[in-house]
Structure 1
Amino acid sequence: MGKQTQLPATKRRVSPAGRWELEDAKARFSEVVRQAREDGPQRVSVRGHDSVVIMSVEEFERLTPAVPRVPFVQFMEDLHLGGLDLEREADHDRDVEF
């Protein structure tokens, strides 16, 4: 029986499920990005726990629809501040000695 050798980090293969250990993802970042664009999101784990997901910008934009910005006046009107007493008391000048 022959002695098994472990491949260096730069020669390790990604699992079929698109999971990477951090050191492998760092060493082969271009491959992670390529697979994220072609095959879908890629999970990167740190110390055995999933930590981040790398995905294409198209997938990211599909998952996070753009929220239209509300004009400032409409934003203020939507606060419904009509019931608040926002009147200021008259501000009289102060006496200042020179």
Structure 2
Amino acid sequence: ADLLTVYQSGIRKWLDDQGMNFYEPIDVAGYPAYTQVPTFNRFWITPNTLPYRYKLADNLLAGVKNESSVVLLALNTVEFVKKPGNISNPGNATELTAELI
């Protein structure tokens, strides 16, 4: 599998499973705000979508592998922060937050 396959059958499917159809808002104004009392904006998480949300995070951190166990996609936040030039001072939480935002 190549990265396009990982996107189409992996990441995009994971988003669809969570009810977040990528590039397909339900109207031209985008996704509506949920303002029903008392849950307000908590409709995005349901018993059906919660396991998929955990699985997405797990897949991104553990890495997505092809049939040959070659990692095609993984988030390695520790290496990103350690690499010179990405973060000027990883020991300073204020600077780190400002640079990542």
**TM-score (normalised: structure 1):** 0.25
Task: Point out the structure with the larger strand share.
Answer: 1
More helix by share: 2
Q: What TM-score, normalized by structure 2, do the two folds share?
A: 0.24
Instruction: Give the number of the structure whose alpha-carbon radius of gyration is greater.
Output: 1
